[in-house]
């Protein structure tokens, strides 16, 4: 990694070096064990294909113009509308779309929070942007909620951190935004308390204005009345060495969070940020899934209302240059929230990407094509159960049936292990929608190229309420 990239990641770590040293217990705690499963956190879930209608809410586009990506794995075209309204008293812009079968439709939209109304179910919707900082995409929300959590954002080192809150419902809402600094504790800016949102209105808060020079901030959005949708946009300095990331929030802490595909690349850096939003201490077990061999887990101890950083590259039990999965689990109530910050050693490609973990408890996933401008790389699946699971990866045919990919039918996956489909072995992955189904809870991750290293800007996947094909 070039020196300037290393310094950017160092800014994330610098504020909590002492805290992290206290929280990370380096002692081996036994053989690698998978995390317990929990109910899926349903902030972005694909509805049943038989549904007559469905809706998605894309808050992040209020901060920057971009596109809505509609993934349709079905055998018939799906139609709908995208209603966009910029922050303030701007007019509503409505556009019709049609998503062809077994494809991803791209609907360019002006800057403004978007409501995507679909004439049917079984589809997933992303919000995406592309610019000098790179390409980023995150799930739009399939529900509004009264709380939203984000484990990490940064206003240090020239990073721009914007929190967008959108009220897509026909009733008014009032929200508070608060933060937990990894260095200084709870921060409650008066300017972010009691923010009113009329029906259809959105607000974009530039966190640097009131919470500057913070290396890592956990964010909580609370609706005092009504329900809202929240998204975080972080842009690291660039072009070339920077990166842009939409970060989808979670509506509740969870007991299991997984990142199926990570890589220890020379010169790169991967940091996981763990946030404990509760009033009680949390004990967190970090389990490692190595493609070949095993690595013992270790433990984090988080005080109430605190966050901790785990620098994966400093862990000697992760072999250099290897692909691995990471699972964070806790028995503490109500749970934790986890985010990953990955930096590459690229000098001409986006070098910093922030991504949310996947909650445990999900057996079926819809994996979309990668966003336009990117090429697909590997698909990884990690077992989150205490026993082996059978995993099948299917692509959808013109008849609407889901057919297993070659070599990806009923693959036996051992507890805590990771299964990887390379692009050559699964040509459909990342090009057309695919369905991942397992006999127990798993997490999945699709890496696009030329993002560096694999995992810097992962393509998302949605939990499925029912099998699609």
DSSP track, 26-62: -S--SS--PPPP-----SS-BPPTT-S-EEEEE-GGG
Length of the chain: 469
Residues 266 and 217 in one domain: yes
352 assigned to some structural domain = yes
- 314: pLDDT strictly greater than 50: yes
- 217: pLDDT strictly greater than 90: yes
- Give the whole-angstrom CA distance, residue 418 versus residue 395: 20
335 assigned to some structural domain = yes
CA Rg value for the chain: 20
230 assigned to some structural domain = yes
- The percentage of residues in the chain with a pLDDT greater than 90, rounded to a whole number, is 55
> What's the domain range around 94?
54-139
For 102-126, b where at least 16 C-beta lie within 10 A, e where not — what string? bbbbebebebbbbbbebebbbbbbb
Region of poorest pLDDT, from 90-94, 107-111, 303-307, 348-352 = 348-352
- Residue recorded with tokens 């933060």: 179
* DSSP letter, residue 140: P
What is the per-residue pLDDT across 155-200, written as a single tens digit (0 to 9) for each?
Answer: 998 889 999 999 999 999 999 999 999 888 999 999 999 999 999 9
Question: What's the domain count of the chain?
Answer: 2
Residue with the larger pLDDT of the pair 31 and 388: 388
Residues 330 and 409 in one domain: yes
49 assigned to some structural domain = no
Residues 148 and 245 in one domain: yes
- Of the pLDDT bands very low, low, confident and very high (cuts 50, 70, 90), residue 142 is very high
pLDDT reported for residue 41:
57
Query: Of 23-32, 126-135, 303-312, 391-400, where does the model show the most confidence?
Result: 303-312
Structure token pair of residue 209: 């204005």
pLDDT reported for residue 15:
37
- 316: pLDDT strictly greater than 50: yes
Residues 228 and 279 in one domain: yes
- Of the pLDDT bands very low, low, confident and very high (cuts 50, 70, 90), residue 17 is very low
How many CB atoms are located within 10 Å of the residue 327 CB? 30
Cis omega (within 30 of 0) on the bond before 453?
A: yes
What's the whole-number mean pLDDT along residues 211-227?
Answer: 96
- Of the pLDDT bands very low, low, confident and very high (cuts 50, 70, 90), residue 300 is very high
What is the per-residue pLDDT across 418-439, written as a single tens digit (0 to 9) for each?
Answer: 888 876 655 678 888 999 999 9
- Give the whole-angstrom CA distance, residue 24 versus residue 90: 49
Domain final residue, candidates 106, 139, 172: 139
Residues 207 and 84 in one domain: no
**Residue 104 near residue 38 (C-beta atoms within 8 A):** no
- Residue recorded with tokens 């070949």: 292
pLDDT averaged over the chain?
A: 84
48 assigned to some structural domain = no
pTM exceeds 0.85: yes
Residues 126 and 160 in one domain: no
Per the DSSP assignment, residues forming a β-bridge with 378 are none
pLDDT reported for residue 35:
40
Residues 94 and 172 in one domain: no
Backbone φ and ψ for 62, nearest 5 degrees, come out as -70, -20
338 CB-side CA count, 13 A: 27
pLDDT reported for residue 36:
40
Backbone φ and ψ for 317, nearest 5 degrees, come out as -80, -5
- 82: pLDDT strictly greater than 90: yes
Domain final residue, candidates 76, 106, 139: 139
- 26: pLDDT strictly greater than 80: no
pLDDT reported for residue 449:
64
- Of the pLDDT bands very low, low, confident and very high (cuts 50, 70, 90), residue 143 is very high
Q: Residue 11: in which H helix or E strand, if any?
A: helix 3-14
* DSSP letter, residue 63: T
Structure token pair of residue 203: 């607000």
Residues 260 and 156 in one domain: yes
- Of the pLDDT bands very low, low, confident and very high (cuts 50, 70, 90), residue 460 is confident
Q: Residue 19: in which H helix or E strand, if any?
A: helix 17-23
Instruction: Return the SS3 of 192.
Output: helix
pLDDT reported for residue 244:
84
468 assigned to some structural domain = no
CB burial class (10 A; 0-12, 13-18, 19+) of residue 96? Answer: exposed
C-alpha distances (whole Å) from 173 to each of 11, 43, 198 are: 36, 18, 6
Domain final residue, candidates 83, 111, 139: 139
């Amino acid at each position: 990694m070039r020196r300037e990239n290393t310094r950017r990641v160092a800014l994330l770590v610098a504020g909590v070096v002492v805290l992290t040293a206290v929280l990370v217990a380096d002692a081996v705690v036994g053989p690698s064990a998978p995390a317990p499963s929990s109910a899926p956190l349903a902030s972005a879930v694909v509805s049943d294909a038989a549904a007559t209608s469905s809706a998605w809410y894309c808050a992040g586009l209020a901060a920057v113009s971009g596109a809505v990506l509609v993934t349709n794995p079905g055998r018939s075209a799906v139609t709908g509308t995208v209603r966009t309204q910029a922050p303030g008293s701007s007019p509503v812009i409505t556009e019709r779309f049609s998503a062809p079968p077994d494809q991803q439709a791209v609907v360019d939209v002006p800057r403004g929070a978007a409501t995507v109304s679909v004439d049917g179910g079984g589809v997933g919707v992303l919000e995406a942007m592309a610019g000098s900082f790179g390409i980023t995409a995150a799930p739009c929300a399939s529900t509004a909620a009264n709380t939203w959590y984000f484990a990490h954002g940064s206003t240090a080192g020239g990073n721009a951190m914007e929190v967008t809150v959108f009220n897509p419902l026909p009733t008014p809402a009032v929200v508070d935004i608060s933060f937990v600094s990894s260095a200084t504790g709870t921060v409650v800016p008066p300017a972010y308390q009691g923010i009113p949102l009329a029906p259809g209105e959105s607000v974009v808060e530039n966190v640097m204005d009131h919470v500057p020079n913070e290396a890592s901030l956990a964010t909580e959005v609370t609706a005092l009345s009504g329900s809202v949708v929240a998204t975080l946009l972080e842009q690291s300095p660039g072009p070339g060495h920077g990166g842009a990331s939409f970060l989808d929030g979670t509506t509740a802490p969870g007991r299991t969070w997984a990142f199926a595909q990570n890589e220890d690349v020379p010169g790169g850096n991967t940091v996981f940020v763990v946030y404990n939003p509760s009033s009680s201490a949390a004990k967190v077990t970090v389990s490692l899934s190595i493609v070949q061999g095993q690595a013992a887990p270790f433990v984090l101890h988080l005080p109430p209302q605190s966050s901790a950083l785990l620098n994966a590259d400093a862990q000697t039990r992760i072999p250099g240059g290897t692909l691995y999965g990471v699972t964070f689990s806790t028995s503490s109530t109500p749970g934790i929230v986890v985010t990953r910050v990955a930096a590459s050693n690229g000098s001409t490609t986006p070098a910093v990407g922030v991504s949310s973990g996947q909650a445990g408890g999900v057996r079926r996933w819809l994996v979309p094509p990668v966003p336009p401008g990117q090429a697909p790389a590997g698909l990884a699946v990690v077992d989150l159960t205490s026993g082996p699971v059978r995993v099948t990866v299917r692509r959808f045919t013109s008849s609407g049936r889901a057919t297993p990919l070659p070599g990806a039918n009923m693959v036996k996956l051992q507890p805590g292990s990771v299964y990887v489909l390379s692009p050559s072995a699964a040509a459909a992955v990342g090009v057309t929608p695919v369905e991942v189904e397992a006999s127990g809870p798993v997490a999945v991750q699709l890496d696009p190229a030329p993002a560096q290293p694999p995992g810097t800007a992962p393509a998302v996947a949605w939990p499925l309420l029912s099998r699609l094909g």
